[in-house]
Structure 1
Amino acid sequence: MAKDDFRLRGNLSNTFSALTVNGRHQVNPKIMEEEDVLQQIEDQEQEIMQLRRHLAEYAVKEAEIQDEKRVLERRISLMHKAYDQEHEDIIEAALKARAYRQEIIEENIRVGYALQAAREERSIFISSLVPLLSDQALRPADLDAYSIVSNLRILFKHSKERLNVAEERLKNSQYQPLVLHSRRKELPLNDSSRPEWTPSPEPVHMVERRENGEDVINSHYLPSIIEEEQEQEHSSSHQEADDSEEDGEYDETDTNKPLPTIEGLQILGEPFPGNEIQASGYSRNGTTHCGFEWVRHLQDGSFVYIEGAKQPMYTITADDVDNYISVEVQPLDDRQRKGQVVRCFANDNKKITCHPDMIHEIENMLRLGHSSFKLFVWKGSPETWEAAVLEIKKSRYSIKLIGPNNGVVVDSKYTPQIDISLLAETPLEFAIRGPDNVERYLHADYNSTDIRCSRDTIVLAMRLFVKRAVDKKLGKKKRRVLFF
């Protein structure tokens, strides 16, 4: 189009020049129309160029508006996310506050029962000591601990003074006790000249009174004492007691008679968690009864006396796994003379391990990565247990009630603060102290005979889950075998 315009302009110039040369000054109307067309074309071209500039400016503005729109949409999305997160945080805080209030209520109930138990102990303490003080002509002004302890101090002071007076009297020759022999003929004494003799008291933790009035230490006979030896020792001891009563002679410092002892001490039974083992042996040298102490020897070389384990029988628990168990037997005779303590280790001096069936069940739980158990949870009042389900997973555990009062008791992740402990003298109960430092008491299903649902299996499995989860958080290398 530009070339045609150029040609048209050239032709018009040539024509105009020709007319001028020829002397003709007349204007051709056709030429004027062509000039108007050319002017219109130039105007249209300028208008087109101006429109193109406007379009380019509008395109730039549209791009800027699109960018601003995207920024605004992004901000609105972030605001929605922040709102949703804040809403979730508010709901979670409300749930935590509700759980905290529930824990406070449970703690108040527990403290209430503890206070009631303390009041009962105080009542027993007062009712036991007040008659004792009354026998000594001491009557507290108020029945409180301070008054009773003050009167006990007075009683102790008076007893100490009497003891000092008695010791001063014994220093005098006329109050010296004569050496007692086994025959009266060698040492004739009249009732008036016989000195008053009182044996020195020996501290005994637990004393019981037999039917014949004799006080003995509250321990147990060894289960396998031979009856013939026992009868012979009883007859000889009774004969010696009769001779001493007739002669009025008794010498506790008699070193000729051997001290009581135990021979062939052994531990019977399979030492697996949940099984009962029993100490057995033969009495010698007049042993009539024994005191028992079961001891747990730890891997670091230390040992602890197991709380409440003072019977000839003992039930192996999960706390004994991977440790050594022994029994210490203190033989005594009818004169309360103590022989040398005899010790024997269970499991042929080897560490306590689990039954193969229990190991198989725990390995299955670890391989699957989760397990659940039906049990009972304590609800804060005596003898109040509710059915529940304990679920243990790789990284967390939960306790949920079942039945009409269904609800979540606890749902928490594993932390180093979690402690699973066994309760003394309660073979089916255990306790879990979570990260919130609240201890929850659980009771295994007593109707189940499956080893998988036993208290010790649950405790050992959960301890392994906790240990593996904590080791994973700390970056420790995973062990391929069980600790037992």
Structure 2
Amino acid sequence: MSSGNNPANGHKDNGGTEERSLESASSYNLEASSVPKNVKGKENLSHSLDQEMMDLYSRKRAQEKEIMYLREQIALASIKESQMLNEKYALERKFSELRMALDEKQNEVINSASNELARRKGDLEVNLNLLNELKVAEDEKHIFKSSMLMILDEYGALPHVTNASALTNSIKHLHDQLQLKIRTSHARLVELNSMIGDNSRNSYIDKEIPSLRPESSPFPSSSLGFRGFSQYGHYIDGKNMEPADDMSRYMQADDPNKGLRQSVEMHQPPDNEHFQRTSPNFDRSKIEYRNPESHMADIMPERNGLLSGSEQRAVEQFPRSPMMQVDRVASFGSEEDGPGIENFQIIGEAKPGFKLLGCGFPVRGTSLCMFQWVRHYPDGTRQYIEGATNPEYIVTADDVDKFIAVECIPMDEQGRQGELVRIFANDNNKITCDADMQEEIDAYISKGSATFGVLILVYTSENWEPATLLLRRSGFQIKDGRKQDVIISDKYSKELSIKIPSGFSAQFVLICSDGSSYPFSTSNDIRLRDAVVLTMRIFQSKALDEKRKSKA
């Protein structure tokens, strides 16, 4: 079965070879065609693997970044936590301190409350004591008032009303009447003694008429001041006023600036020579104005008590005309019997801001002169000016449209009281402003406003502070001189008042409608002070008139 032996087989073998070659060729072609397919598949596989690896890598990087970020956040959170813990500890410490401070405050409040209760208890005890004292004082006042009414009823001088002013005036009038009777009795006794020269007859008269002796008089006339008045009320235009600084009631005559001492040395009248010869201890250099207020208080404590306090008034009916130039009340039978003062006069211009001087020539052993300036009103009433007990007097705004007089009572070293001498200033005419001041005030009134630079004494400071006083038709304002802040702003009312102290003072006190008071000063310019007061009073009067007209 060899292939060379049989051509058919050879043909078959060739055919098989061809088949195998074709199969191998086809398989080769298949292999050749499948090789690029495999390469391409591998490439696709590797590409897909690379893409997946890239995704995984990117995820890994993102997660690592996230882990790093979270770590940073954790670190920051831990730092913040530590800070918050520190703050917590600090707040806890502060809270504990606050609790301690609160406890201390509570203890202080408790202590202060207990102290306040103790203080209130003490105040209640003081109030109870004051109430008891007030009751005692009211009882004493009632007893005193009843006694005064009994005395007035006994002499038939009961007033129509029983207030303090009426009782005071009635007691003073009764005292004047009794003193006048005593003086009349003294004069009658002197006349009888001059007519009867027999000593036995004189002793008989003394025995028969003991009430005519000066020693037996229950009303001593040598130490009572003006007509027995130991004190004088202090009123401005009918309104009660606080007492000003006490000025010496009596001036020393050995002052070289005073004219009374010079007059008594240079103009000694012949009537006094006999007195000097018969008095070996008399020395004119010792003539002085003494202060007998303590002696007066010892002699008449009841009168001093009656005329003191808020019930003291000095405005009484003046029965004689205020135009009378000199009014004399005799204390002795004749002018030659006791001390006196001659050529009594007032020197100076009677205008607001100017000084007046009452002076004269002391005669018949006069060693003491008691002065009192009196303000007379057009309706016939008069008012003793508080503190005006010196020969010198400064005319103020309170004296405008009124009469001003000075009363003088001379006394000798034995305490004998001479006749009272009264003389009116300004030639018995009302006190008016000078032409310049009146023109200035009229200009303010016509304009309807006025501005003044003053000094005010505020309660928060002890020094005078500059201020501006603005006056208007309906009200007034007071502004601070530096900051221009409004200190006071008020309308004119009946309760508004202005008080002027007596003496050499440029001050005045403004009392508002609510009762508050404000001291003012015009820097020692008394004339400016009076201009301010007069202008404000005129504005007040016009505003009150307008209110009355509007109500009508």
**TM, length-normalised to structure 1:** 0.48
- Which structure's residues are more often helix, by fraction? 2
**TM, length-normalised to structure 2:** 0.42
Larger radius of gyration: 2
